[in-house]
């Protein structure tokens, strides 16, 4: 609710408030076209038309929640920036409104970085429309609007997203196309949630491999499922990619424990040597610990 009311405040006065943040004190008339249309394709087409009309109008236009399309791995993905401002000279600027504060002129660097990466994707999507719009030019600097200090007063800063744009473009170019991935699926596998029963969907999910890592928990709805499979298999990836990297050829928890106990593993392997040393230190610490300290492994709640 706070975010919504802040966004409404930023876009108040028919878009003039936002243009003031952009440094335009007297924008004259600001056009705010209606972008409603049926379905995402309709909204994308309506946005493209509004951008074309605005570019040739010679005035200021604010597109409130336009819808853009970008091809990702051969499939269209729909993106909705908070706003796009069209300048009288045909320049298009992405506006990203965030609810994290700018305190004493600076904001959380990680959050600003995430907002810049997000805005860079919008810039790439806008460039596709600009390529077929005469006189259009997409700015590689975006306007980031945040609440000032701990108030609800908006303040804006211009963020250069050239680097993020270049990185995202390169990453998108390297993605394997979805149809190539689909071709590699076993016969009869389908993830059609509308057509398939829960049992069939479960069987389909079970039939494909996974690459679980704790990072999945923050990004993927299948994370608990993949984590359970990964734990069942005793895969060390459940402990994190960095741990996996440290353990070299030891890929399961069982193999790690056997190596630590001296039951398996090459003693010249640095990972095996480090595990044995760690086990010896642990035994030593437990032997000298007060009796009330738990000696058994306690499962970490996280």
Which positions from 61 through 100 interact with ligand SF4, judged by CB under 6 A? none
Query: What are the CB-based long-range contacts (under 8 Å, 24+) for 109-116?
Result: 112/144, 112/159, 115/144, 115/159, 116/142, 116/144, 116/159, 116/161, 116/164
Tell me the site size for ligand SF4, rule CB under 6 A.
Answer: 8
For Cα atoms 240, 218, 115, give the angle at the middle one, nearest 5 degrees.
Answer: 115
CA distance 145 to 151: 13
The nearest distance, CB 238 to ligand SF4, in angstroms, is 11
Beta-carbon contacts of residue 282 (< 8 Å; ≥ 6 apart)? none
The nearest distance, CB 295 to ligand SF4, in angstroms, is 35
CA distance 26 to 254: 70
* Beta-bridge partner residues of 235: 252
The nearest distance, CB 229 to ligand SF4, in angstroms, is 8
* Smaller CB separation from ligand SF4, 37 or 243: 243
Which positions from 10 through 69 interact with ligand SF4, judged by CB under 6 A? none
* Smaller CB separation from ligand SF4, 120 or 226: 226
Residue 28: name the closest of 40, 16, 38 by CA: 16
Do the Cβ atoms of 124 and 70 come closer than 8 Å? yes
| Chain CA centroid to CA 33, Å | 29
The nearest distance, CB 239 to ligand SF4, in angstroms, is 15
Site string for ligand SF4, 281-300 (x = CB under 6 A): --------------------
Which positions from 204 through 263 interact with ligand SF4, judged by CB under 6 A? 210-212, 216, 220, 222-223, 226
* Smaller CB separation from ligand SF4, 216 or 275: 216
Do the Cβ atoms of 55 and 26 come closer than 8 Å? no
Q: What share of the chain is helix, strand, coil (3-state, %, to 5)?
A: 45, 15, 35
* Smaller CB separation from ligand SF4, 222 or 285: 222
The nearest distance, CB 209 to ligand SF4, in angstroms, is 9
The nearest distance, CB 212 to ligand SF4, in angstroms, is 4
* Smaller CB separation from ligand SF4, 287 or 302: 302
Residues of this chain that interact with ligand SF4 (CB under 6 A) are: 210-212, 216, 220, 222-223, 226
């Amino acid at each position: 609710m706070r975010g919504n009311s802040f966004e409404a405040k930023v876009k108040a006065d028919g878009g003039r408030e936002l243009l003031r943040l952009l440094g335009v004190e007297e924008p004259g008339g600001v056009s705010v076209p209606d972008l409603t249309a049926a379905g995402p394709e309709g909204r994308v087409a309506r946005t493209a038309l509004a951008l074309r009309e605005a570019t040739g109008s010679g005035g200021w236009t604010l597109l409130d929640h336009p819808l853009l399309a970008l091809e990702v791995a051969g499939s269209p993905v729909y993106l909705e920036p908070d706003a796009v401002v069209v300048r009288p000279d045909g320049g298009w600027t992405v506006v990203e409104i965030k609810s994290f504060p700018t305190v004493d002129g600076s904001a959380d660097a990680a959050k600003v970085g995430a907002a810049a990466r997000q805005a860079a994707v919008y810039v790439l999507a806008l460039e596709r429309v600009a390529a077929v719009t005469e006189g259009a030019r997409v700015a590689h600097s975006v306007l980031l609007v945040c609440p000032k200090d701990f108030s609800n007063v908006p303040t804006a800063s211009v963020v250069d997203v050239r680097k993020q744009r270049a990185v995202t473009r390169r990453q998108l170019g390297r993605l394997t196309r979805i149809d190539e991935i689909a071709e590699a699926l076993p016969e009869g596998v389908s993830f059609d949630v509308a057509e398939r029963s829960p049992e069939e969907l479960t069987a389909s999910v079970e039939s494909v491999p996974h690459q679980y890592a704790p990072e999945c928990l923050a990004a993927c709805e299948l994370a608990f499922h993949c984590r359970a499979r990964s734990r069942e298999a005793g895969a060390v990836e459940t402990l994190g990619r960095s741990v996996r990297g440290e353990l070299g050829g030891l890929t399961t928890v069982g193999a790690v424990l056997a190596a630590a106990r001296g039951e398996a593993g090459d003693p010249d392997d640095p990972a095996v040597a480090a595990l044995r040393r760690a086990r010896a230190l642990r035994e030593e610490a437990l032997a000298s610990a007060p009796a009330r300290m738990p000696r058994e492994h306690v499962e970490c709640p996280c």
